[in-house]
Amino acid sequence: MTPASLLEHLETWYRQGKLRLLDISFARWCSRHDPAPTPELLLVTALVAYLEGRGHSCLDLDSLLLNTLTLGTELEAELAQVLTGLPRTLPVWQNTLYGSPCIRPPSSPVPSPLVLAENRLYLRRYWQYETALSQQIRQRTDPALWSLDALTNALPWLHALFPAHSEIHWQRVACALALRSPFTLITGGPGTGKTYTVARLLTVLLSQSARPEALRIALAAPTGKAAARLTESLQKALRELPSNLPAALDISTLIEQVGPARTLHSLLGQDWTTRQFRHDAAHPLDLDLLIVDEASMVDLKMMVALFDALPPRSRIVLLGDRDQLASVEAGAVLGDLCLHAEAGHYRPETATFLCALGEPPLPENLRDSKGSDLAQCRVMLRHSHRFGTAIGTLALAVNAGDVNSVTRLLKQETHSSLIWKECASPQEVVEVATRPTELSYGRFSRLLQTRPAASADFDAWALLLLQTLDQFRVLCALREGPWGVIELNRSIEQKLRAMGGLQPQGEWYEGRPVIITRNDADLSLANGDIGLTLRSPHPAQGLRVYFPDTARTLRARAPSRLNHVETAFALTVHKSQGSEFEHTCLVLPAPHPIVTRELIYTGITRARQRLTLLCADPNTLEVGLARPTQRTSGLKFES
């Protein structure tokens, strides 16, 4: 195959919509800057750009040559056909690619747009991100930084904060490991008590500080909704601390000292005109402890920026569910860091440390004399207080890819909290979403029609409306098409209007819920914030969009100032991360590459009490469960 014929293939794929303009443009650019471009160069340059757009940080050449590269599209078959005309051994490809001025090995002093590290090909910036993050994490997990005597004074507090347990108390283990290390990773599914654990960790850290009032603490999350939820759940956990503590603790002062969570962009002080952060290695954050929730949503670039901005002696605790959807941008950092979390890989010194805590001996399957430094700072919470329910059992089966168990659970009619239905039409989704007698938008619509006559009662009514709205949500896999967010939002609007609940007159109308899709520091609004459009109690102000504050007060914004919003009766599963709803209606289309095991799991685990699962095709679940998300990365820590 010649370079010209390969480029013709790429052009055809672009015209067919299988490659983006960015992908084909990068391949063209490399062909112009290489005096003798090869077919291999043109192919990998288009693919590495394509994969970056799908969340991968690099291209694995072994997977490419073995025809195991997961693209999730019909491009896979065409790619296999192209490869038949090219050499199929890695050494040949390495030699060929290193011959291009566009590609250099990591050790090369000559800059190049692409870096080939053994079998992994990177856009240079992503190689730099991975290298920097790997170094930062290794530094913070260095045993030389561990405080091995951390338990001496903290032990009474740990035993008071965590009730006696006959088995390993993983929440207490997480606290103990966080006491001795500047880096801690706590992963676990919904209901495993991640926030519960952090509330107790904060208590112990403050109890061990010589000047607890001077301890600088920050809470952060990727989105505004996730930050608000972290604030609410952490404050609740702090108020519910046991009374038998070794010393008195002023909970109100503790809550005030911790403060509300912020988005990562706000924490780092992003300048939206330059996209640069105010805080970096030269201007670090002024804090002693940083807690980041929903870490699965944090992409590689943001995680590097976060670690860059940490002061050398500060602590960082990452919380997240490794099985949820990864970040929208490139990288699956939490998934990479938790790759072997279930197997523990704790070294003998860690096992001894935990025995001193009073934990029973670690079972052999969690021990590893060669376990990595990272593994000694990582804890997987293994008991869910929610997963005894039908929804929880379903989530576990989905996570395991167990099609038979999933089907059996869905076909049982004994679960009032779990309903599964195959839909012939998207209108059936609308009917579920607007039923007046159930937890749905029908209830929200009725409440919307009870506007109080007195303006003094407006805030309480608006807060109740927002609370009712937040109890139910339609979640979709797609944005476009009959089963997507755009069409379903329009159909739900029309049905509520027919029911008399809404009176849409243009884009903005009373009762329109919206989600903020981009951070706006000027308006103090963050990506993921949910607001509700209502007529102001002051007639001259007209329509305003009301957002709840953590103090159960309202913030009003003029619709004309909201440039990045979407109607929020239906959301994508991606945008729902960091949220939970009493009743979740998960809508899955016919089999589609975007419907993966992680998307199904994430959608299911947004439901607290009730899940309605609506499928456009009976094969969607089986095909989706057989498609786990696999993002190529070089961020490996062995165990």
- Give the pLDDT confidence of 115-129 residue by residue, as tens digits: 999 899 999 999 999
Does the pLDDT value for residue 416 go beyond 80?
Answer: no
Rounded CA-CA distance 626/326 in Å is: 17
Into how many domains does the chain fold? 3
Asked if 425 and 512 sit in the same domain, the reply is yes
Lowest mean pLDDT among 118-127, 326-335, 486-495: 326-335
Q: Could you give the percent of the chain with pLDDT greater than 90?
A: 50
Rounded CA-CA distance 363/360 in Å is: 9
Rounded CA-CA distance 88/250 in Å is: 67
| Any domain includes 637 | no
Does the pLDDT value for residue 437 go beyond 80?
Answer: no
Q: Are 444 and 499 in contact (CB under 8 A)?
A: no
Rounded CA-CA distance 294/230 in Å is: 9
Rounded CA-CA distance 582/403 in Å is: 25
| Any domain includes 252 | no
> In Å, what is the CA distance from 597 to each residue of 368, 398, 544, 592, 606?
30, 7, 39, 12, 15
| Confidence at 549, pLDDT banded by 50, 70, 90 | confident
> In Å, what is the CA distance from 327 to each residue of 123, 303, 416, 543, 575?
18, 11, 33, 34, 11
User: Which of 120, 101, 97 shows the shortest CA–CA distance to 112?
Assistant: 101
User: Which of 377, 482, 472, 370 shows the shortest CA–CA distance to 425?
Assistant: 482
Asked if 311 and 371 sit in the same domain, the reply is yes
Q: 188 among the known binding-site residues? A: yes
> In Å, what is the CA distance from 138 to each residue of 132, 310, 311, 375, 473?
10, 14, 15, 11, 41
Q: 358 among the known binding-site residues? A: no
Asked if 274 and 215 sit in the same domain, the reply is yes
Asked if 293 and 429 sit in the same domain, the reply is no
Rounded CA-CA distance 603/575 in Å is: 10
Rounded CA-CA distance 130/524 in Å is: 32
User: What average pLDDT does range 47-58 have in this prediction?
Assistant: 93
State the number of CA atoms in the 13 A half-sphere of 140 facing the CB.
25
| Confidence at 414, pLDDT banded by 50, 70, 90 | low
| Any domain includes 251 | no
Asked if 118 and 11 sit in the same domain, the reply is yes
| Any domain includes 397 | no
pLDDT digits (tens, 9 = 90+) for 558-603: 999 998 899 999 999 998 988 889 999 999 999 888 899 999 999 9
Phi, psi at residue 105, to the nearest 5°?
Answer: -75, 165
Does the pLDDT value for residue 388 go beyond 70?
Answer: no
Q: Domain range holding 603?
A: 418-626
| Any domain includes 404 | no
| Any domain includes 243 | no
Does the pLDDT value for residue 184 go beyond 90?
Answer: yes
| Any domain includes 351 | yes
- Please give the residue that has the higher pLDDT: either 371 or 518: 371
User: What average pLDDT does range 391-413 have in this prediction?
Assistant: 87
For residue 101, give the amino acid letter. Answer: P
User: End of a domain among 354, 380, 406?
Assistant: 380
For the chain, how big is the Rg over CA atoms in Å?
26
- Strand ranges (DSSP E) for 315-469? 315-320, 378-380, 418-422
Rounded CA-CA distance 367/546 in Å is: 52
pLDDT averaged over the chain?
A: 89
| Any domain includes 560 | yes
What pLDDT shows up at residue 120? Answer: 94
pTM here is 0.89
Q: 548 among the known binding-site residues? A: no
Asked if 480 and 555 sit in the same domain, the reply is yes
Give, rounded to a whole angstrom, the gap between the first and last alpha carbons of the chain.
42
* Beta-bridge partner residues of 581: 607
Q: Are 108 and 99 in contact (CB under 8 A)?
A: no
User: What average pLDDT does range 296-324 have in this prediction?
Assistant: 93
What pLDDT shows up at residue 471? Answer: 92
Asked if 210 and 309 sit in the same domain, the reply is yes
Asked if 121 and 218 sit in the same domain, the reply is no
What pLDDT shows up at residue 386? Answer: 65
User: Which of 298, 355, 307 shows the shortest CA–CA distance to 332?
Assistant: 298
User: What average pLDDT does range 40-67 have in this prediction?
Assistant: 93
Does the pLDDT value for residue 639 go beyond 70?
Answer: no
User: What average pLDDT does range 278-302 have in this prediction?
Assistant: 93
Virtual CA dihedral for 156, 161, 165, 170, nearest 10 degrees?
-100
| Confidence at 630, pLDDT banded by 50, 70, 90 | confident
Does the pLDDT value for residue 387 go beyond 80?
Answer: no
What pLDDT shows up at residue 30? Answer: 94
Q: 190 among the known binding-site residues? A: yes
Query: 393-400 long-range CB contacts below 8 Å, 24 or more apart?
Result: 394/418, 394/604, 394/611, 395/189, 395/190, 395/601, 395/604, 395/605, 396/189, 398/597, 398/600, 398/601, 398/604, 398/625, 399/189, 399/323, 399/597, 399/601
Lowest mean pLDDT among 121-125, 484-488, 547-551: 547-551
Does the pLDDT value for residue 406 go beyond 70?
Answer: yes
User: What average pLDDT does range 315-337 have in this prediction?
Assistant: 89
Does the pLDDT value for residue 164 go beyond 70?
Answer: yes
What pLDDT shows up at residue 490? Answer: 93
Does the pLDDT value for residue 91 go beyond 90?
Answer: yes
Q: 191 among the known binding-site residues? A: yes
Q: Are 471 and 584 in contact (CB under 8 A)?
A: no
Asked if 193 and 86 sit in the same domain, the reply is no
User: What average pLDDT does range 160-173 have in this prediction?
Assistant: 87
What pLDDT shows up at residue 435? Answer: 86
Asked if 153 and 60 sit in the same domain, the reply is no
Does the pLDDT value for residue 231 go beyond 80?
Answer: yes
Does the pLDDT value for residue 637 go beyond 80?
Answer: no
540 exposure class (CB count in 10 Å sphere: 0-12, 13-18, 19+)? exposed
Rounded CA-CA distance 464/446 in Å is: 12
Asked if 40 and 118 sit in the same domain, the reply is yes
Chain position carrying tokens 């699965």: 296
| Confidence at 454, pLDDT banded by 50, 70, 90 | confident
User: End of a domain among 360, 380, 400?
Assistant: 380
Asked if 148 and 274 sit in the same domain, the reply is yes
DSSP H helices, 164-278, are 170-180, 194-208, 224-239, 251-258, 264-268
Q: 193 among the known binding-site residues? A: yes
CATH number of the domain within which 343 lies: 3.40.50.300
User: End of a domain among 132, 152, 176?
Assistant: 132
